[in-house]
Amino acid sequence: MTDDQSLSQIPSADPFALFDEWYAEARLREPNDSNAMALATATPGGAPSVRMVLLKGHGPDLGTGGGGGFTFYTNAHSRKGQEIRANAEAALLFHWKSLRRQIRIEGGLREVAPEVADAYFHSRSRDSQLGAVASDQSRPLDSRTIFLERYEAARARFAGGEVERPAHWTGFTLCPRAFEFWLDRPNRLHDRRRFERRTDGPGWTDMLLYP
């Protein structure tokens, strides 16, 4: 997509393809963490929370039923993990400042299969694996020294062998029901296009939105 092209000129009716096009540009032009995305979750009562996570897999064939998905990894005992267990609805947000573009994605979450989590866990550096074992993510920590001691204890425990993935360190895949693409335009006449998954069959409907 060229810089002077508007979202209404894109023939693609496939939001995964448009995501890929923008993501490829972000990987070239965004200096840090082009795979960083905000993940919003909420309690069953509707109190929201949001934090950054890293996108570690995506595509139209991921997720259950081949509906496509976006995968991140985390500690399921964390605040986000507890909210996801109680309410599996979430939203993702990519904002690539250098591109002046935003993508919003909404849908339900499913935990990845244990073998998928194992494969990703063991693809990380050994130190990162030990860090995941040592961290009681989102729980109160009395001092940083305690955390570093836990890290050393994990190193000693797995010395010479494979680091075992804690069962609570896992991945979740968001299966999109909606995408929304936002493009900066002059005079704040920004461009928005929303895609919603059809409920009466495969494919997507889409519309432009006022900015």
Ligand X SMILES: Cc1cc2nc3c(=O)[nH]c(=O)nc-3n(C[C@H](O)[C@H](O)[C@H](O)COP(=O)(O)O)c2cc1C
Task: Confirm or reject binding of residue 149 to ligand X (CB under 6 A).
Answer: no
| Residue 131, phi then psi, degrees to nearest 5 | -60, -40
How far apart, in whole angstroms, are the C-alpha atoms of residue 103 and residue 96? 9
Pick 59 or 211: Cβ nearer ligand X: 59
Of 94, 3, 1, 80, residue with least CA distance to 42: 80
Of 118, 106, 100, residue with least CA distance to 165: 118
Task: Confirm or reject binding of residue 170 to ligand X (CB under 6 A).
Answer: no
Annotated catalytic residue 100: no
Task: Confirm or reject binding of residue 54 to ligand X (CB under 6 A).
Answer: yes
Pick 79 or 185: Cβ nearer ligand X: 79
Task: Confirm or reject binding of residue 49 to ligand X (CB under 6 A).
Answer: yes
From 74-82, 108-116, 142-150, 186-194, span contacting ligand X (CB under 6 A)? 74-82
Task: Confirm or reject binding of residue 72 to ligand X (CB under 6 A).
Answer: yes
Of 60, 170, 62, 155, residue with least CA distance to 115: 170
| Active-site choice (51, 165, 188, 198) | 188
How far apart, in whole angstroms, are the C-alpha atoms of residue 84 and residue 172? 9
Pick 54 or 178: Cβ nearer ligand X: 54
> Which two tokens mark 67?
């509906």
Task: Confirm or reject binding of residue 80 to ligand X (CB under 6 A).
Answer: yes
Which of the residues 22 through 41 are near ligand X (CB under 6 A)? 33, 36
Of 121, 115, 117, residue with least CA distance to 158: 121
> Which two tokens mark 106?
């909404």
From 70-78, 151-159, 180-188, 198-206, span contacting ligand X (CB under 6 A)? 70-78
In the chain, the amino acid numbered 8 is S
State the CB neighbour count (10 A cutoff) for residue 104: 19
Which of the residues 127 through 146 are near ligand X (CB under 6 A)? 137-138
Pick 165 or 194: Cβ nearer ligand X: 165
Among 27, 51, 97, 157, binds ligand X (CB under 6 A): 51
Task: Confirm or reject binding of residue 208 to ligand X (CB under 6 A).
Answer: no
Asked whether the beta carbons of 168 and 76 are under 8 A apart, the reply is: yes
Q: Please give the residue ranges that form the binding site for ligand X (CB under 6 A).
A: 33, 36, 49, 51-54, 72-75, 78-80, 137-138
Catalytic residues, by residue number, are: 188
